[in-house]
Amino acid sequence: MPSEITMPQLSDTMTEGTVVKWYKKEGEKVKSGEKVADVETDKAVMEMESFDSGTIAVILAPEGSKVPVGGSIAVVASAKEDPGEVKKRYASGAPKKAPATSAQIKAEIRDPLSIEAEPASLGDPHKKEPATASVATIAPPKAGGNGHGSNGGRIFASPLARRIAEENGLELASITGSGPGGRIIQRDVLGFKRGARSGAAISGSSPEGDSQRTKAAADLRSFAPKVASGEKTVTAMTKMRQTIANRLQQSMQTLPHFYETVDIDIESLVGLRERVNKSLEKSGVRLSVGDFVAKAVAMTLLKHPSLNSHYNGQTAEVTSYGDVNLGMAVALENGLIVPVLRNIDKMGLAEIRARSADLVDRARAQKLKQDEMTGATFTVSNLGTHGIRQFTAIINPPEVAILAVGAAEKRAVVRGDAIVARTIMSVTLSSDHRVVDGAAAADFLKTLRALLEEPGMMLV
Amino acid sequence: MTEEMERDENVFLMGEEVAQYNGAYKVSEGMLAKFGPRRVFDTPISEAAFSGLGVGAATMGLRPIIEFMSWSFTLVCLDQIVNNAANVRYMSGGQYKVPIVFRGGNGIAHQLGATHSHRVETIYARIPGLIVVSPSTAYDAKGLLKSSIRCNDPVIFLESEKMLNETSEVPDDPEFLLPLGVANVEREGSEVTVVSYGRTMQRVTRAAVKSLVDEGVDVELIDLRTLRPLDTATLVQSIQKTGRCVIVDEDYGYCGMGQAIMASVYKRVFDYLDAPIAHVHSDEIPVPFNHYLEEAMMPSEERVIAAVKDVCYR
C-alpha cells in the first residue's frame, strides 16, 4: 500500500505549511529518514524527512503551494508497487487513505489554533517532539522591508557591510544603517551581530551591554526619516509576525490577566555578582543580573508549582510540573521568539549563562531546533537592558504566568526614617486568574523577592 | 649624487647654477671642485635646450642628472621629456636607452606665486616610459635617488625646496638603494589606510596621523615613494584590510594624483570598502602669493583628520 507524505506540524501554532523546495522528483527513490523537502512554517524553514522507503510516485503539492497540516503533499510507492500505477490512481482523484504518520495523528487530535486544546500528552514539556524535522540551515526568511521602503525597496549599504552580512547570513533588511542617508556600514552589521548576543532577554546587564548602548547611539545618530514625509509604506506581515499577532491577541482576549508588581532591593545581589564575576574573570564567565533572576525564578517556581503549570481549558485540568523549563523572550528585529532553557532548576549560574547565551544567539540567527522553542512552563521577559523601569507582559498559553523584569537602577528609597539610594529592580507578574489567585501570585513574588534580596538563600 | 658620480664616470650633473654657484639651493655644493667642469656644469636659462641635450647624451650612453630650479619651469621642455625621453627607447625598438634623472623642486614652496608653484606629478606620471619618484624623507631621498641614477629609464625625481633642510638618519653605505615602484608602509593599522607622498607626507600627513593614533584611530600610513609605476598591490592589500582609505596630496583634486590613485585601486577594493575613498587635496585655484591664503588652500592637518574621521564614521 502506498504511503502519503503529509504536512507535519512543526510547531505548536502551525496550521499550514508552504512547500519551499523539493529534493526529490517523481520517480526518484527515497529512504526512510531521508530529506525530501523544505517546508516553511510560521516560524522557520524546516527540512522534512520521509517516514517510508520507496519511490516518490506523485508529488501532490508543487513548490510554493500551501498545504494545511496533515494534508498530503506526496505519495511514496513501496518496493512492491508500481509507482506509475500509484500515480495514475492519485491522478484520477481517488487518493487512498494512507497509514497515518505520527505527525498526522498529532494534527488530527488537536486544533492548533485553540489554545485550550493543548492535549496533556503533547503539552508535556519533557517529551521531545517526534523527530519529524530538523532545522534547515537556510537563509532566514525574507523579511518584508524594514523602513527601507522609502528607497523604493533599495537598501543602501557599504560594500563591506554587504559582504559581512552575507558571510554571517544576516539579512540587511533587518539592520538599521547609521551612515549618511541611512547607509548600513560595517559598524551596524557588527553591532547587529553582537546585539544578537547582548539582546538576551534574560541577560540583564551582560558584558555586551556596551554594544547595546553603541547600537542605541547609532540609532540616535540616524535621524533620516524611515518613511519620507508624504509617503507611506505597506508591508506584508511575515509569517512570524502573523503568528505573534494571533497568539497574543488570543491570549489577551481569552485569559483574564491580572498583575502584581514588587520592587526588589538587589543591592547585595549586585555586590555578590561583582565579587563572583571577579573570581570568574579568568574563566571568561561573566554572570548577568538576569542570570541570577532566572535562577531565583526557577527556585521560586519549585516552591510554587501552581505557577509552573499548564492549563487545559477543554479538560479543565491544570498540569503542574516538577521541573522548570524557562522561556526567555528574545526580541528579533521584526518579531519575538521564546527559546526555552530546559531544566534550568538543575543548573548552576555558569551553566545558565552559557546555555542562555547560546540559545539567544541561535534564536537571533533563527537556528533554534523545534524542541528549543516549545515546552516552556513559565516565561521571563526582561526589558531591563532597554532601560524600562516596569512593564506588564502577556502570558504565553498554556502557561499560566509570566514575569516582566525591569531595569536595575539606583532609586531613592526609605530605610527606617532616612532616604537612601539603593539598587532597585521592579518585577511584574502577570497571572491567569482562571488558575492563579492574587494571594498565590503574591506568595510567589514574596519568595522571589526574598531570594533576590538575600541571594545567599539560594544556597539553602 | 657624489657617490654615484664616484662609482660611475658616465654620471654627470648639469643645470642652472649647479656649478659655479654651488646650486641655486646649494644641493651641489662642492661638486664642481670635486669633479671639475666636465662633469658638473652650468647651463643657460633654457630648460628646453639643456633637457634636450641631456636626452641626447643619455641615448649616447652617458647618465645625466639634470637639475631644474623648479619643476614649474619644465612646462617649456615638455617636448623633450614627454616626447623624447619617454619614447626614444620604445620608438627605437630598444636600440637606445635613456638613463637620465630629471630632478628639482616640485609643488608649493612658500610664496613663489602661481607660476612657480605647479605640482607636475600627474603631467609626468601619466606618461608610459617615465618613472616618477617623490621622496618624503632624507633617507628615502638618498636611497631612491641612487636607484634612479642607476635606472636605465628616464626618472622624474620630485623634490621640494621646503624639504632640503629636513634631516633624517641616512645610511653612509654607498650601496644603500631603495627599490623604485615599491611603497612604504610606515605604520601598520587596522581601521583606515592613509596614503600620501612627498612634501605633503612630511608637512601634514604624518602629524595628522599621529594625532589620530593618539585619539585611538588605528591608521595604516602608506608613503607611496614612487608615483609611476604605482605600487597598487600594497595599496589594495592595505585597503582590503582596513576597508577605508584617505589619500592626501597637495595636487588639485580634479585630474589630480589622488584621483588617479583612487581610480587605480577602486575596482579591486570596492567590495571591501565601508566608505567611499576620500581625497584631501589643494583647493582648485591658482596658488596665491599671500602666505595665509597659500596655507589655506593646501591640505591641513585638520582637513586630513576630518576626512579620516568621516570615512570612519566617527
Residue A200 predicted with pLDDT over 80: no
Domain for residue B177, yes or no?
no
Our measurement of the distance from residue B252's CA atom to the centroid of its chain's CA atoms, rounded to an integer in Å, reads: 15
Domain for residue B178, yes or no?
no
The minimal CB distance from A185 to the residues B270, B272, B274 is found for B274
Min CA distance, A151 vs chain B (Å)? 19
- Asked if the Cβ–Cβ distance from B270 to A186 is below 8 Å, we say no
pTM of the model: 0.51
- Section B188-204 average pLDDT: 96
- Section A189-207 average pLDDT: 57
pLDDT tier for residue B245 given thresholds of 50, 70 and 90: very high
**Helix axes of A438-453 and A289-303: crossing angle, nearest 10 degrees:** 130
Whether B313 has its CB under 8 Å from any CB of chain A: the answer is: yes
Min CA distance, B273 vs chain A (Å)? 5
* Total number of domains in chain B: 2
Residue A150 predicted with pLDDT over 80: no
CA atoms within 13 A on the CB side of B40: 21
In this prediction, residue B18 carries a pLDDT of 96
Same domain, B118 and B206: no
- Section B218-247 average pLDDT: 97
In this prediction, residue A25 carries a pLDDT of 86
**Helix axes of B206-214 and B301-311: crossing angle, nearest 10 degrees:** 50
Query: Which phi and psi (to 5°) does residue A356 adopt?
Result: -70, -35
Whether B266 has its CB under 8 Å from any CB of chain A: the answer is: no
Domain for residue B146, yes or no?
yes
Candidates A126, A148, A304, A433; catalytic one: A433
Same domain, B149 and B203: no
The minimal CB distance from B271 to the residues A163, A185, A186 is found for A163
Whether B277 has its CB under 8 Å from any CB of chain A: the answer is: no
How do the domains of chain A map onto residue ranges? 3-135, 149-221, 255-459
Query: Which phi and psi (to 5°) does residue A43 adopt?
Result: -115, -35
- H helix intervals, chain B: 2-7, 31-35, 47-59, 78, 88-91, 121-125, 138-150, 198-200, 206-214, 232-242, 257-269, 291-297, 301-311
Same domain, B120 and B62: yes
Domain for residue B229, yes or no?
yes
CATH number reported for the structural domain that contains residue B93 in this entry: 3.40.50.970
pLDDT tier for residue A139 given thresholds of 50, 70 and 90: very low
- Asked if the Cβ–Cβ distance from A178 to B313 is below 8 Å, we say yes
Same domain, B146 and B260: no
Same domain, B158 and B188: no
Domain, as residue range, for B158: 2-163
Our measurement of the distance from residue B212's CA atom to the centroid of its chain's CA atoms, rounded to an integer in Å, reads: 25
- Asked if the Cβ–Cβ distance from B271 to A160 is below 8 Å, we say yes
Which numeric CATH code is attached to A3-135? 2.40.50.100
Residue A205 predicted with pLDDT over 60: no
Average pLDDT, chain B: 96
- Asked if the Cβ–Cβ distance from A163 to B272 is below 8 Å, we say yes
Contacts B243 to A, Cβ<8 Å:
158, 160, 186
State the count of interchain CB pairs (< 8 A) between A and B: 28
In this prediction, residue A129 carries a pLDDT of 41
pLDDT digits (tens, 9 = 90+) for A165-186: 888 888 888 888 888 888 999 9
Weakest mean pLDDT among A117-131, A425-439, B277-291: A117-131
Whether A160 has its CB under 8 Å from any CB of chain B: the answer is: yes
Min CA distance, B302 vs chain A (Å)? 21
Same domain, B92 and B130: yes
- Section B245-258 average pLDDT: 97
Residue B200 predicted with pLDDT over 80: yes
Domain for residue B11, yes or no?
yes
Contacts A187 to B, Cβ<8 Å:
274, 313
Average pLDDT, chain A: 80
Candidates 3.30.559.10, 2.160.10.10, 3.40.50.11540, 1.10.10.10; CATH matching A255-459: 3.30.559.10
Residue A89 predicted with pLDDT over 90: no
pLDDT digits (tens, 9 = 90+) for A332-388: 877 888 999 999 999 999 999 999 999 988 888 878 888 888 899 999 999 988 889
In this prediction, residue A152 carries a pLDDT of 59
Contacts A217 to B, Cβ<8 Å:
none
Whether B190 has its CB under 8 Å from any CB of chain A: the answer is: no
ipTM entry: 0.74
* Exposure string for B166-205, b = 16+ CB within 10 A, e = fewer: eeeeeeeeeeebbebbebbbbeebebbbbbbbbbbbbbbb
Same domain, B146 and B195: no
- Section A114-135 average pLDDT: 41
Contacts B277 to A, Cβ<8 Å:
none
In this prediction, residue A435 carries a pLDDT of 94
Contacts A178 to B, Cβ<8 Å:
313
Domain for residue B171, yes or no?
no
Contacts B270 to A, Cβ<8 Å:
159
β-strands B101-105, B63-68: how paired? parallel
Active site residue B121: no
Min CA distance, A214 vs chain B (Å)? 12
In this prediction, residue A20 carries a pLDDT of 83
Same domain, B118 and B243: no
Report the 10 Å Cβ neighbour count for B258: 25
Candidates B4, B116, B161, B250; catalytic one: B116
Percent of chain A residues topping a pLDDT of 90 = 38
Same domain, B7 and B132: yes
pLDDT tier for residue A93 given thresholds of 50, 70 and 90: low
Percent of chain B residues topping a pLDDT of 90 = 97
Candidates B4, B16, B47, B220; catalytic one: B47
Same domain, B153 and B103: yes
Whether A230 has its CB under 8 Å from any CB of chain B: the answer is: no
Domain for residue B175, yes or no?
no
- Vertex B189 angle, CA B187 and B192, to 5°: 110
CATH architecture of A149-221: Irregular (4.10)
Interface probe for B, chosen from A162, A172, A185, A190 (most Cβ of B below 10 Å), is: A185
In this prediction, residue B76 carries a pLDDT of 96
CATH number reported for the structural domain that contains residue B205 in this entry: 3.40.50.920
Same domain, B55 and B156: yes
Residue A285 predicted with pLDDT over 60: yes
pLDDT tier for residue A214 given thresholds of 50, 70 and 90: low
Report the 10 Å Cβ neighbour count for A439: 8
Whether B273 has its CB under 8 Å from any CB of chain A: the answer is: yes
Same domain, B88 and B226: no
The H helix count followed by the E strand count for chain A is 11, 19
Min CA distance, A158 vs chain B (Å)? 5
Whether B310 has its CB under 8 Å from any CB of chain A: the answer is: no
Residue A234 predicted with pLDDT over 80: yes
Q: Please give the residue that has the higher pLDDT: either A42 or B278.
A: B278
